[in-house]
Amino acid sequence: AQTIHQWPVAEIKAVGSPLSLGCTIKGKSSPNLYWYWQATGGTLQQLFYSITVGQVESVVQLNLSASRPKDDQFILSTEKLLLSHSGFYLCAWSLRGGGQDTQYFGPGTRLLVL
Amino acid sequence: GEQVEQLPSILRVQERSSASINCTYENSASNYFPWYKQEPGENPKLIIDIRSNMERKQIQGLIVLLDKKAKRFSLHITDTQPADSAMYFCAASNTGANTGKLTFGHGTILRVHP
């Protein structure tokens, strides 16, 4: 069965500091991967998606970047955090090709920027 | 792009009654409509979805209706229980675009009172 992990579980960071969040998925070969952001009590905003290693498409610019260094790994990062980056970051996956529409979310990382 | 409107934002019902959440979308090319349930502090979990080749789908006490002409879809929870209390999100996607772009509504907080 597939499992999706996100790290860290939670972070408290200072404005202007760098950030790196990670996501790994096991049990699925070549999945599509996605990053989402959710403000407290808010909706889910898709940030990035990737269909293969080394290829990342940006959906919304929030002074964040993403990379896919391995087939099973997706990284979200920034060199300088803003207060507005606080929220819940969710990684999601879907199958490649047919059936790629159904997305499943990881456990998420809570970020508080002070 | 796609826009998804979701109403109501808050829904309070008595236990064992039914609850209905309505969503509308703008892009006539959207053909996949999932519903997610998110409990406090948790990640969103897929509970039911419907594709454009169907008008109705039921999984136990969950019913989804799709009216493509009106660009409207809805979730109906029959015989609600306090455990159904959560945030619910609808979403829409055009799977033909092969981007995995999923646009979410703003969510409905459902409170089921004993």
Asked whether residue B91 carries a pLDDT value surpassing 70, the answer given is yes
CA distance linking residue A27 with residue A29, whole number of Å: 7
Three state DSSP letters for chain B: CCCEEEECCEEEEECCCCEEEEEEECCCCCCEEEEEEECCCCCCEEEEEEECCCCEEEECCEEEEEECCCCEEEEEECCCCHHHCEEEEEEEECHHHCCCCCEECCCEEEEEEC
Locate tokens 């969950």: which residue?
B62
pLDDT tens per residue across span B52-90: 999 999 999 999 999 999 999 999 999 999 999 999 999
For residue B103, list chain A residues with Cβ-Cβ distance below 8 A: 46
Q: What is the pLDDT along chain A (114 residues), one digit of tens a residue?
A: 779 999 999 999 999 999 999 999 998 888 899 999 999 989 999 999 998 999 999 988 789 999 999 999 999 999 999 999 999 999 999 987 655 578 999 999 999 999
Q: Determine which of A43-52, B16-25, B94-103 has the lowest per-residue pLDDT on average.
A: B94-103
Q: Among B34, B89, B99, whose Cβ lies nearest the Cβ of A43?
A: B89
Note the pLDDT of residue A2. Answer: 79
Order of strands, edge to edge, in the sheet holding B62-67? B4-7, B19-25, B72-77, B62-67, B56-59
Q: What is the mean pLDDT of chain B?
A: 95
For residue B98, list chain A residues with Cβ-Cβ distance below 8 A: 51, 100
Q: Which residues between 22 and 81 in chain A have a beta carbon less than 8 angstroms from any beta carbon of chain B?
A: 32, 34, 42-46, 49, 51, 57, 59
Note the pLDDT of residue B94. Answer: 87
Chain A CB within 8 Å of residue B35 CB:
no
Provide φ and ψ at B83, rounded to 5°.
-65, -15
Chain B CB within 8 Å of residue A87 CB:
no
CA distance linking residue B68 with residue B73, whole number of Å: 8
CA distance linking residue A18 with residue A52, whole number of Å: 25
Give the nearest chain B residue to A107 (CA atoms): B43
Q: Which residues pair with A53 in a beta bridge?
A: none
Quick check: B99 and A57 CB within 8 A?
yes
Residue B113 banded pLDDT, cuts 50, 70, 90: very high
Apex CA B36: angle with CA A73 and CA A67, to 5°?
20
**By the 8 A CB rule, do A33 and A23 touch?**
yes
